[in-house]
Amino acid sequence: MALVQQNTKLSQRNGESRDGKQPNPNNSKQIQTKDKRCYELNIEKSLEKKLIAAKRVKNLKYEYTGGGIVAEADAATYELLKIAAIQYYKSYSKLNETAHITDVTDNSGKSIVQNTIRVCEQSGKKSYTINFYHTTSRMLVNGKNIQKFINEDLIIIHKSINEALDNHKNSNIKTLNELLSVQIENLLAKLRSESDTNESKGGKPSIEDIDCIQCNRPCRKRASFCDTGSHWIHYNCEKLNPAEIERIENDTSTDYQCKICLKKQDTILDYIPIDNTNLAIALLDEEIATTNRGDDLDACSLCDIVIEQQNLEYKNEVPTCFGCIGIEDQEKEQSQQIKVASTTSTVMQPPEQPVIRQASQRGLVKESIPTPVTIADTNTQSIQQSNPNKDVVTKTVPIQTEKKQHTTPTESIPTTNIKMGELRQKEIKMRKWEEDLKIREKSLLDSNERYIRLETYIKRLESEKEENENTIRTLKRKISYMDETHSYPIRNNNVQDKGRSTNDQENTELLDNIHKKVTNYILRQVDIQFQKIEHDQHEPNDNKNRFNQYEQSNQFNPMTTSSCAMEDNNTVTYDSNKTNVNTDRAKSHCDINSSTRPNVPQNIRDQTSRPSCTIPEKQYIAVPQQTLPYHLSGQNIVHIPINNRNAGYYRSNMPPTISQRTNSNYDRTFTPPINQNPNWNDGSNIEGNMSSRTQHIEQQNNNATTLKVVAFNCKNIKTSTAAVNKLLEKNDIILIQEHWLFQFQIHLINEIGTNLNFEGKAVDKYNNIHPAQVPRGYGGVAVIWKKEIDHLVKATDDGGERIQCVEFLDNMSKPLLIVSIYMPTQGCHDLDEFKECIDQLFEIMQKYTRSHDILIGGDLNEDLTKNNKNQRTEYLLQFIKDFNLQVCFNGSTYINPKGQECSEIDYFMYSYGTDRNFSDKTIIKTLHSNVSDHYPIVVSCKTNLQKKTKSEHQYN
> Is residue 482 scored above 90 in pLDDT?
no
- Taking only the tens place, the pLDDT of each residue in 339-387 is 444 443 333 344 444 433 333 333 333 333 444 433 334 344 433 444 4
Report the mean per-residue pLDDT for the chain: 71
Rama region for 15: left / alpha / beta (φ>0; ψ in -120 to 50; rest)? left
Q: Say which residue, 830 or 70, is predicted with more confidence.
A: 70
Average pLDDT over residues 191-196: 76
> Is residue 888 scored above 80 in pLDDT?
yes
Q: How many CB atoms lie within 10 A of CB 44?
A: 12
Rg of the chain over Cα atoms, rounded to whole angstroms, equals: 52
Q: Say which residue, 251 or 350, is predicted with more confidence.
A: 251
In sequence order, what are the residues at sequence separation of 6 or more whose Cβ sits closer than 8 angstroms to the Cβ of residue 842?
460, 463, 879, 882
- Taking only the tens place, the pLDDT of each residue in 125-178 is 668 899 999 888 889 898 888 888 888 888 888 888 888 888 877 778 888 888
Q: How many CB atoms lie within 10 A of CB 487?
A: 7
> Is residue 16 scored above 70 in pLDDT?
no
The predicted pLDDT at position 780 comes to 95
99 vs 89: CA distance, rounded Å: 6
Q: What percent of the chain clears pLDDT 70, i.e. is strictly above it? A: 63
Does the predicted model carry a pTM greater than 0.85?
A: no
The predicted pLDDT at position 575 comes to 41
Q: What percent of the chain clears pLDDT 90, i.e. is strictly above it? A: 20
> Is residue 487 scored above 60 in pLDDT?
no
- Taking only the tens place, the pLDDT of each residue in 455-473 is 889 988 998 898 888 889 8
- pLDDT-derived band of residue 619, with 50, 70 and 90 as boundaries? very low
Q: What angle do CA 94, 95, 100 make, to 5 degrees?
A: 60
The predicted pLDDT at position 724 comes to 94
> Is residue 927 scored above 80 in pLDDT?
yes
The predicted pLDDT at position 324 comes to 87
Asked if the 703-955 domain carries CATH number 3.60.10.10, the reply is: yes
**In this structure, are residues 82 and 14 in contact, taking their beta carbons and an 8 Å threshold?**
no
Rama region for 350: left / alpha / beta (φ>0; ψ in -120 to 50; rest)? beta
> Is residue 835 scored above 70 in pLDDT?
yes
Lowest mean pLDDT among 34-48, 206-220, 925-939: 206-220
> Is residue 4 scored above 80 in pLDDT?
no
- pLDDT-derived band of residue 624, with 50, 70 and 90 as boundaries? very low
Let me know if 768 is exposed, middle or buried by CB neighbors in 10 A (0-12, 13-18, 19+).
exposed
User: In the chain, which segments carry CATH 3.60.10.10?
Assistant: 703-955
One-letter amino acid at 576 equals S
Average pLDDT over residues 101-109: 85
579 vs 789: CA distance, rounded Å: 45
User: In the chain, which segments carry CATH 3.30.40.10?
Assistant: 208-267
Topology of domain 208-267, per CATH? Answer: Herpes Virus-1 (3.30.40)
> Is residue 880 scored above 70 in pLDDT?
yes
- pLDDT-derived band of residue 276, with 50, 70 and 90 as boundaries? low
Q: How many helices (H) and strands (E) does the chain have?
A: 20, 37
> Is residue 717 scored above 60 in pLDDT?
yes
Locate all alpha helices (DSSP H) within 213-258, ordered by sequence: 235-238, 242-250
Provide φ and ψ at 804, rounded to 5°. Answer: -130, 125
Among 27-36, 247-256, 415-424, 587-596, which range has the highest average pLDDT? Answer: 247-256
Going by DSSP bridges, is the β-strand pair 937-944/223-226 parallel, antiparallel, or unpaired?
A: unpaired
- pLDDT-derived band of residue 622, with 50, 70 and 90 as boundaries? very low
Secondary structure percentages of the chain, helix, strand, coil, to 5? 40, 20, 40
- Taking only the tens place, the pLDDT of each residue in 196-250 is 666 555 544 555 568 888 888 888 778 888 888 888 888 888 888 988 888 888 8
Q: Which of 681, 673, 688, 696 is nearest to 629 (CA)?
A: 688
> Is residue 627 scored above 50 in pLDDT?
no
> Is residue 603 scored above 80 in pLDDT?
no
**In this structure, are residues 724 and 929 in contact, taking their beta carbons and an 8 Å threshold?**
no
- pLDDT-derived band of residue 801, with 50, 70 and 90 as boundaries? very high
Going by DSSP bridges, is the β-strand pair 937-944/704-713 parallel, antiparallel, or unpaired?
A: antiparallel
The predicted pLDDT at position 280 comes to 65
The predicted pLDDT at position 197 comes to 67
- pLDDT-derived band of residue 641, with 50, 70 and 90 as boundaries? very low
* DSSP-assigned letter for residue 77: H
The predicted pLDDT at position 737 comes to 96
The predicted pLDDT at position 543 comes to 55
The predicted pLDDT at position 398 comes to 43
**In this structure, are residues 89 and 30 in contact, taking their beta carbons and an 8 Å threshold?**
yes
In sequence order, what are the residues at sequence separation of 6 or more whose Cβ sits closer than 8 angstroms to the Cβ of residue 71?
60, 61, 62, 63, 81, 138, 139, 140, 141
Q: Which of 226, 288, 235 is nearest to 255 (CA)?
A: 226
338 vs 761: CA distance, rounded Å: 67
Q: Say which residue, 620 or 54, is predicted with more confidence.
A: 54
799 vs 512: CA distance, rounded Å: 51
**In this structure, are residues 667 and 632 in contact, taking their beta carbons and an 8 Å threshold?**
yes
Q: Say which residue, 50 or 266, is predicted with more confidence.
A: 50
Q: How many CB atoms lie within 10 A of CB 138?
A: 16
431 vs 411: CA distance, rounded Å: 36
Average pLDDT over residues 552-579: 40
